[in-house]
Structure 1
Amino acid sequence: MDPIALQDLVQAVNGTLLSENIPEGLQITGAEYDTRKIRGDDVFFAFKGENSDGHRYVPKALEEGAAGAVVSEKPESPVPGKFYVLVEDTIKAFGDLARWYRSQFSIPVVGVTGSVGKTTTKDMIASVLSEKFETVKTEGNFNNHIGLPYTVLHLSHTTQAAVIEMGMNHLGEIDYLVHIAQPTIAVITNIGEAHIGILGSRENIFRAKSEIFSGLAAGGTAILNGDDDYQPMLKDDAKAGKIFDGKNPAKGFHLIFQGEGENCDYRAVDIRDDLEHEVTFTGKTPKGDIAFTVPALGRHMIYPVLTACAVGHLVGETNEEIRNGVLHYVPTKMRMETLHLPGNILVYNDTYNANPQSMKSGLHTLARTKGYRHVAVVGDMFELGDMTEELHRGIGSYVAELNRDPEHRIDALITVGEAAAFIAKEAKAQGVPDVFCCNDKEEAKVVLDDQIRKDTAFLVKASRGMALEELTKYIGETAEKE
């Protein structure tokens, strides 16, 4: 964060300065809500939640060197020489500061949202941009009303580009985030079923994701998935410059579509997704063909690559810089992370999260891995609401569909959890052999003992709350003993 004047901070958060005798010319050099990260001249934001109250930690933050604090309660014993800014809501104030701070920068900012592939797409874009620009990106899954402002507040005078991920569970959340990030380029990866249990329908998911257009800069560019079945509506929405319900006048967005379809501006052809370590394809682009080698697995990787390619062209990168940026991409841990174990055992550790689309992508990748037996270990997918049974059964049906091709099949299916049992039931009903339905991870370990053998590839995948990385670890430890 570049230094900002105390008065700018007070105005940005619409607060009241309570302190007197503050050193003249005081500059704030960072904003934190965790006392463990405080550095000298930072401002501490005292967040108040259901189970914690940051006001208890204000003295600690000041002791660690913070210049002052943003609070929603007047301090009982103010520390001399430290400032206090009183606001109604400290979390909102954090966002307000980030919104003001973002407005101080005239740089390309890419906002990324969507049901599946947000983090992969964000990381791929950042990898491509980093070939030419000093790039700030969302770290981990800091994509909510606290994490996004935190990322924005890490821009500095050396930053030349930023890639900011936007997550949501409810309508209105993207609308809030996008007005903080103020992207010049907006990306929607796809419209899937993630969070459908909260939002109720894919139409509502579409409404929530398309809120990103409400904060896209006038004359900005929207990059959309040309293969998505919601593409026509997204196209109309983007052209109109509206959220969905007619708000906001047209802003003259530029539209770019990417995918496999012939009408896509950025198109993938000659795709090889049956390789052990990588995916290769040719990208047909308005600026010529690019031969891509992607150091990650799954046919779905064409989408983040094509998106990153479009972003690279928009900001003036060459085809060679874009190709190298893709080649230097490093997959995030627990997101189709590839582990090679003794006995020629391969594990796709995709345990960070799961939804119906990403589950099918993982199973497709496993089934197309050559030279191995294929064992899928899959657990519950959360936040599917009334569609939980239907969407889990859909995964069981997809396994049966894969198994109709004798060369690309799932040799054993292990399900873990109450909802995942519907996967097992449907797979069995459609004739899939070797299906094991486990109540918990301990039962799954017993089944795995007979499946961990040489020349076997495993997919381990479920929603975050299932913590199936425990089974990934178990496979690794067992393989080491063999």
Structure 2
Amino acid sequence: MMFTLADVLEPLTGIRYANATLALSEAVVDSRQAIPAALFVAIAGERTDGHAYVEAAFKNGASLALVQQDIAAAIPVVDLRQPLAAQYTFPPAPFALRVEDTIAALQAVAAGWRRSLNIRVIGITGSVGKSTTKELVADVLSQRYRTVKNLGNFNNEIGLPLTLLKLSRGTERAITEMGFYVPGEIRQLCEMAQPQVGILTNIGTVHAERAGSQEVIARGKSELVQSLPAAPEGTAILNFDDPWIRPMNSLTQANILYYGLNPQADLWADQIEGHGLEGISFRLHYRGDAYSMQVPLIGQHSVHTALRATAAGLVEGLSWPEIVEGLTHSGNQLRLVAVKTQQGALMLDDTYNASPESTLAALNLLDEIPGRHIAVLGGMFELGQYEKSGHEMVGIRAAEIAEYILTLGEKGKMIAAAALQSGCPAQKVTNYDTTDQVVEALRGLLREGDVVLVKGSHGLRMDRIVSDLEVEE
């Protein structure tokens, strides 16, 4: 069962309304993503005001809206800024709830829903590697538990509560990324999610311009560790190889599990070898035992991702066969094929199929591999009402990490448009009608050391781009 109107009202009014039985499916902030029984949260953003789209959300099936200002649509509005009678009769759906601040209300509702669930939450933060870690941890834990993970980069003060409101009473484990921009942000996210397990990947210089220094970044990331419950309920999974993270054991009463490449770590790896298209192999050490395996992850640096997922599995009580199965036979989008092009570039071939979620994860992986980043992205099919927002989401993320963006087909134009609107220079974003045109463009663009992601729906046959450019063996 998902949440109900009563679950929305209780954290906002302090009253549990027995007659508020309206069932709700999930929360959305984009009216185009509203599905039947959704809760639409109208947010007044810098570019778009969600209050103008309340009626559109209801037309798409939403049953309830949170608003903080008057709306033009002729929709019943219950004003929660004034005390309601304990026996208040709510109008039939769809209708709106008026609150002081819709973002604060969303967060309160999500926190209340999470508190009502008997669930363990695994929080992940760090400068890089959060998304790939999230995916692999989910693959491992889903070998035993009903697991939910956050969609794409839903890791901030809006995305995290949306993820929490996707949980059901049947969910057993939730994996949530926690992004950092300013001190106090992760603490706020932890107050909502209440994680029992915290995984720290590494501390880099991402957001240093905003935060001020790497020390401030480390302090901000450490808020996850500080928010964990004491042992035995809580466990911090810390990167022993990172000098900023290693000392964080002093900030918590939770259990500590160190991972890394150093034998002093609790869980460590050696004999790390790259095998080209076959992934990487390594040997894991834990409590005197050793386990050798090969996983379909690109690059030897990915051993840290495997270590983090293994640590999460151990903490959550999985057996070694379950952990190995999750690491080696997962069906997630991290299983990319890497090939060398005739120009000496590394090409990530993920052309079998594409969805917004898998494309975002592939872009995140592209972002983690050193080199000049080029994204070759095709349209995504069968998205229905999510078509425009899904392509826009991909275009925005591509603009953040790729120096050049080449899109393919009519639907690819939506990706290109979103990238341009995000500030990507026009000369670095081009849409093409055919794969042959893309190949010719790449022949003139690629150079040694580049990293190229090629991804799109299977019907676009973008595998031809890879086969035309890869080195023949």
Given the alignment, which residue of 53, 60, 65 partners 1:57?
53
In the alignment, what sits opposite 1:400?
none
Distance 2:308 2:104 in 1: 32
Change (3 A) 1:51 1:306: same
The one-letter code sitting in structure 1 at the alignment partner of 2:52 is: R
**Other-structure match for 2:184:** 172
* Deviation readout 1:225-278 (Å, 9 max, x if unpaired): 0000213432222xxx3xxxxxxxxxx211110001121000101111254321
For the residue of structure 1 that corresponds to 2:51, the secondary structure is helix
- Could you tell me which of 353, 372, 387 is aligned with 1:377? 372
Structure 2, unmatched stretches of 5+, are 77-90, 350-360, 375-401, 405-425, 431-438, 454-461
Residue 310 and residue 74 in structure 1: after superposition, are their counterparts in 2 closer, same or farther (change >3 A)?
same
Query: In structure 1, what is the Cα distance between the partners aligned to 2:429 and 2:26?
Result: 45
Separation in 1, partners of 2:464, 2:215: 40
Correspondence for 2:451: 459
Alignment of 1:199-214 (within 5 A): 199-214=211-226
Shift of 1:305: 1.2
Distance 2:268 2:172 in 1: 28
In structure 2, do the counterparts of structure 1 residues 173 and 440 end up closer, same or farther at CA, with 3 Å as the change threshold? same
Listed as ranges, the gaps of 5+ residues in structure 1 are: 242-251, 364-375, 380-414, 418-438, 462-471
Report the number of matched residues: 379
Select which of 77, 81, 92 maps to 1:81.
92
Secondary structure, aligned partner of 2:372: strand
Alignment match, 2:171: 159
Moved more, 126-135 or 284-293: 284-293
Matches within 5 A, 1:74-223: 74-75=70-71, 77-79=74-76, 81-82=92-93, 83-219=95-231, 220-223=234-237
Asked whether the equivalents of residues 291 and 323 of structure 1 are also in contact (C-alpha less than 8 Å), the reply is: no
Question: 3-state SS of the aligned residue for 2:167?
Answer: coil
Distance 1:441 1:66 in 2: 39
SS at match of 1:276: helix
1:151 & 1:210 partners in 2: Cα distance?
Answer: 22
Q: Deviations over 1:120-162 (max 9, x none)?
A: 1111110100111111011211111111111111111221111
Deviation string 1:67-106 (CA, Å, 9 cap, x unpaired) is 2211112446334634322211111211111111111122
**Is 1:347–1:457's contact at 8 Å kept on the other side of the alignment?**
no
**Corresponding letter in the other structure for 2:202:** N
- Residue 234 in structure 1 maps to residue 233 in structure 2: no
SS at match of 1:187: strand
Residue 2 of structure 2 is matched in structure 1 by: 2
Alignment of 1:428-439 (within 5 A): none
- Could you tell which deviates more after superposition, 177-186 or 266-275? 266-275
Cα 1:416–1:53, aligned 2, differ >3 Å: closer, same or farther? closer
Q: Report the Cα offset of residue 24 of structure 1.
A: 6.3
* Secondary structure of 2:249 counterpart: helix
Matched position secondary structure for 1:28: coil
Q: Secondary structure at the match of 2:290?
A: strand
* Structure 1 residue aligned with 2:270: 269
Q: CA deviation at 1:26?
A: 2.8
Amino acid at match of 1:50: E
Letter in 1 for 2:469: A
Q: Superposition pairs for residues 387-466 of structure 1, below 5 Å?
A: 441=428, 449=443, 458-460=450-452
Per the alignment, residue 352 of structure 1 pairs with: 363
Find the residue that maps to 1:13 and give its secondary structure. helix
- Structure 1 pair 202–481 and aligned structure 2 pair: CA distance change class (3 A): closer
The letter for the 1-side match of 2:75 is P
2 CA distance for matches of 1:8 and 1:134? 22
SS of residue in 1 equivalent to 2:124? strand
Aligned residue identity for 2:142: S
> Aligned in 2, Cα 1:221/1:338: closer, same or farther, shift over 3 Å?
same
2:352 counterpart residue number: none
Give the TM-score normalised by structure 2.
0.70
Alignment-mate amino acid for residue 283 of structure 2: T
Deviations 1:147-206 (A, max 9, x none): 111111111122111111111222221111111111110011011111112112110110
Q: What CA distance in whole angstroms lies between the structure 2 residues aligned with 1:481 and 1:274?
A: 17
Q: How many angstroms does 1:15 deviate by? A: 8.9
Closer/same/farther in 2, CA of residues 351 and 302 from structure 1, 3 Å limit: closer
**For 1:203, what is the secondary structure of its paired residue?**
helix
Question: Does the 8 Å CA contact 1:296/1:331 hold for their aligned counterparts?
Answer: no
Alignment CA distance shift 1:288-1:108 (3 Å): farther
Q: For the Cα contact (< 8 Å) 2:139–2:332, is it kept in 1? A: no
* Partner of residue 285, structure 1: 286
1:338 to 1:457, Cα distance in 2 relative to 1, 3 A: farther
User: CA 1:311 to 1:351, structure 2 compared with 1: closer, same or farther past 3 Å?
Assistant: closer
Q: How has the CA–CA distance of structure 1 residues 347 and 165 changed in structure 2, closer, same or farther, with 3 Å as cutoff?
A: same
Q: Which amino acid in the other structure matches residue 130 of structure 1?
A: S
Aligned residues: CA RMSD: 3.8
Question: What is the Cα deviation at residue 29 of structure 1?
Answer: 3.4
Q: Cα 1:339–1:274, aligned 2, differ >3 Å: closer, same or farther?
A: closer
Q: Give the aligned residue type for 1:317.
A: L
Max radius of gyration: which structure? 1
**Distance in 2 between residues matched to 1:161 and 1:442, nearest whole Å:** 40
**Letter of the structure 2 residue corresponding to residue 449 of structure 1:** R
Listed one character per residue, the Cα deviations across residues 262-303 of structure 1 (whole Å, up to 9, x for unaligned) are 210001011112543211011101373222211011122111
Q: Quick one: which amino acid aligns to residue 11 of structure 2?
A: A
Contact 2:373–2:450, Cα closer than 8 Å, also in 1: no
CA distance in 2, matches of 1:257, 1:196: 26
Q: Distance in 1 between matches of 2:257 and 2:26?
A: 36
Q: Offset at 1:378? A: 5.0
**Equivalent position amino acid for 2:451 in 1:** L
**Deviation of the 1:41 alpha carbon:** 3.0
State the identity %. 33
Aligned amino acid, residue 227 of structure 1:
D
Contact 1:15–1:86 (Cα < 8 Å) also in 2: no
- 3-state SS of paired residue (1:175): helix
Cα gap change, 1:330/1:119 in structure 2, threshold over 3 Å: closer, same or farther?
Answer: farther
Letter in 1 for 2:42: A
CA distance 1:258–1:24, shift in 2 (3 Å): closer
Equivalent residue for 1:412? none
Contact kept in structure 1, 2:259 and 2:265, CA below 8 Å: yes
Q: Is 2:208–2:214's contact at 8 Å kept on the other side of the alignment?
A: yes
SS at match of 1:228: coil
Deviation at 1:27, TM superposition (A): 3.1
CA contact (8 A) 1:227 1:261 kept: yes
- CA spacing shift, 1:218–1:448, aligned 2, 3 Å: same
